[in-house]
Amino acid sequence: MVREELVIAPMRSGDIPEILELEKKAPSAWSEDHFKDELQQPAGFQFVARNKTTESILAALFGRIVADEAEILKLGVAEFARNKGVGYQLLDFAVNYSSTRGVQNCFLELRASNEAARLLYEKRGFVCVGTRKDYYKEPVEDAILMRLEI
Ligand SMILES: CC(C)(COP(=O)(O)OP(=O)(O)OC[C@H]1O[C@@H](n2cnc3c(N)ncnc32)[C@H](O)[C@@H]1OP(=O)(O)O)[C@@H](O)C(=O)NCCC(=O)NCCS
């Protein structure tokens, strides 16, 4: 595997058009307003991963920190940039960032059928701690709840 060289930085509102492009084929795509709202969240953190050479955005991650818990709300990697370690590097960055903010547990949910994401999270140390029956709509599907103790 050729590991993509990245620059990871906080997301700015000017990044939204590029992230919307990247999101077009995502399973639970967010709208422009949703991204704007999330950027305004006082408890939120948002990071983008850019190709070091071209500076184009390859991935984005959104999360929130409340007290000593973090939640990863969204992680998406552009289709053409997958399987090059981008998702792992961005997730690792967010976990390390959360750790510096005093987070002790990091949580996330994902569709039960999303094996690629589950394997990515397990690789970074997340473990399955439960399921939520029929949590997702269109199509209806169970959610797997994962946790990382930092
Ligand atoms: C899931 C996703 C974020 C993975 O990102 P990625 O950059 O392709 O993942 P990486 O290259 O960093 O892979 C890291 C690990 O994840 C797992 N993985 C990633 N893609 C995989 C796939 N298609 N099949 C099996 N395992 C996979 C592997 O364990 C891999 O480690 P390895 O290369 O040593 O085998 C990406 O496929 C994506 O954006 N999917 C659509 C959106 C989504 O499902 N987001 C998560 C919602 S919770």
Ligand 1 contacts CB of residue 85 (under 6 A)? yes
* Full-model pTM: 0.97
Ligand 1 contacts CB of residue 84 (under 6 A)? yes
For residue 28, the model assigns a pLDDT of 77
Question: For residue 84, which of 55, 115, 49, 54 has the smallest C-alpha distance?
Answer: 49
pLDDT along the chain (150 residues), means of 10: 89 96 82 95 97 96 98 95 97 98 98 97 98 94 97
Q: What structural domains and CATH numbers belong to the chain?
A: 6-107 (3.40.630.30)
For residue 25, the model assigns a pLDDT of 75
For residue 2, the model assigns a pLDDT of 75
Distance of CA 114 to the CA centre of its chain: 14
For residue 87, the model assigns a pLDDT of 98
